[in-house]
Structure 1
């Protein structure tokens, strides 16, 4: 019996996918990062309550009297704790 050309094609696709993933894993390890977003290299996995999203964290400092943002900082840290200076 001959080999199924569809099966052989799928196997080659899987091997190529595995090679790409191994290259991505190696690149991630070499960079020292723990996460990678394919659409936005600066984005990270964040928890917003019970929701899990990928994006950036932008903690803000607000002047309560005038309701104005007085400071903000974009970070890829997963929480707002200790992100802004007093």
Structure 2
């Protein structure tokens, strides 16, 4: 999905993907990120910027747990049914 968004944005705005599970066919473009005390990583992919830079941004996001606080809020918002 991130690839479609990146295309729609004219390949001018970076798109960072964060997943709780990896795709078996996507290991070469994804980096595992461990946050907090979790033994389970988040999987980070990116278009339009260096993957290491995206991982650093996610590592520095607010929150003591595996998933950064803002991503938890966004996840909740996207699941609200009207």
Identify, as 1 or 2, the structure richer in strand: 1
Give TM-score scaled by structure 2 length: 0.23
Q: Which has the higher contact order (CA 8 A, sep 6+)?
A: 2
Q: Which has the larger radius of gyration?
A: 1
